[in-house]
Chain A
């Protein structure tokens, strides 16, 4: 018997950091997988947006990272775990407009300081923990 908490699908995707070479590739895979599950367009779009934002952050700031996708009958759980510099002041990083982006990142059209607040806005649940010098862990939940 499948309860509401049962993980019916799980997958993990590795990400290379400090390069935009494949930025967005994992989000596309996540979106394709969710589309195949016949979830609503809005839910799939939100999951793709938060995954993409997290992916861009890893490609921008971390050494490496991974995105873990879990689907239960009730929700989509996306975790982005990276090894990197971490965030010293999470409250400040959550502020719209605050960014530590380099020129290269800004040149790509990112680094406006919207990423984390965007993730929060598009998620039903969002939690972030970070350790300076170790890395950052994001958990996003989108209810189906």
Chain B
């Protein structure tokens, strides 16, 4: 689905990336631990998180994450939005809690970027 559809499903506010809502997304990863995001998230996925600091953008940039969705009605810090603009990564916010955010996207066809943690090295 497109990022615009994701925005509509989640009734999300777009903090940055209005011009990129046409991008296609198929997979997502949700966590508040950036260490785990670095270990498991895949390129081109959505990142769903409750964190609001600039490291969510830095982490997404390193991993080639498609867009960031901040959950639980939190707002990104001004420096987080500035960094998202600089690195050109869309950043949205939804009032839904993480569980509801995931459920709503999953029923509409977005799947996890991995299903389970595997023992094999996977660099995708």
Measured CB to CB, the residues of A under 8 A from B are 20, 23-24, 27-28, 31, 41-42, 45-46, 48-49, 52-53, 108-115, 118, 121-122
- As a 0/1 sequence over residues 110 to 124 of chain B, the CB contacts with chain A under 8 angstroms (1 = contact) are 000000000001011
Whether the Cβ atoms of A114 and B39 lie closer than 8 Å is yes
Can you list the 9 inter-chain pairs with the closest CB atoms, starting with the nearest? A24-B58, A109-B34, A112-B35, A114-B35, A48-B62, A52-B62, A112-B33, A109-B51, A118-B39
Measured CB to CB, the residues of B under 8 A from A are 32-39, 43, 49, 51, 53-56, 58-59, 61-64, 87, 121, 123-124
Whether the Cβ atoms of B62 and A24 lie closer than 8 Å is yes
* Nearest-CB residue, chain B, relative to A53: B38
Dominant SS among interface residues on chain B: helix
In the assembled complex, which residues on chain B have CB atoms less than 8 Å from the CB atom of A122?
Answer: 121, 123
In the assembled complex, which residues on chain B have CB atoms less than 8 Å from the CB atom of A23?
Answer: 55, 58
Whether the Cβ atoms of A118 and B38 lie closer than 8 Å is yes
Q: A45 to B38, alpha carbons, bound, how many Å? A: 11
A-B contact pairs, 23 of them (CB 8 A): A24-B54, A24-B59, A24-B62, A28-B58, A31-B61, A31-B62, A42-B123, A42-B124, A45-B62, A45-B123, A48-B62, A48-B63, A49-B38, A49-B62, A49-B63, A52-B38, A53-B38, A108-B55, A109-B33, A109-B51, A110-B35, A114-B35, A115-B35
Minimum Cβ distance to chain B for residue A55 (Å): 9
Whether the Cβ atoms of B34 and A110 lie closer than 8 Å is yes
Whether the Cβ atoms of A118 and B35 lie closer than 8 Å is yes
In the assembled complex, which residues on chain A have CB atoms less than 8 Å from the CB atom of B38?
Answer: 49, 52-53, 114, 118
Most buried by A among B33, B36, B49, B123: B123
Minimum Cβ distance to chain A for residue B98 (Å): 14
In the assembled complex, which residues on chain B have CB atoms less than 8 Å from the CB atom of A45?
Answer: 43, 62-64, 123
In the assembled complex, which residues on chain A have CB atoms less than 8 Å from the CB atom of B59?
Answer: 24, 52, 109
Most buried by A among B35, B39, B56: B35
Whether the Cβ atoms of B58 and A121 lie closer than 8 Å is no
* Nearest-CB residue, chain B, relative to A28: B61
CB-contact partner of A20 in B33, B51, B55, under 8 A: B55
In the assembled complex, which residues on chain A have CB atoms less than 8 Å from the CB atom of B32?
Answer: 109
Q: A41 to B43, alpha carbons, bound, how many Å? A: 10
In the assembled complex, which residues on chain B have CB atoms less than 8 Å from the CB atom of A114?
Answer: 33, 35-36, 38-39
In the assembled complex, which residues on chain B have CB atoms less than 8 Å from the CB atom of A52?
Answer: 38, 58-59, 62
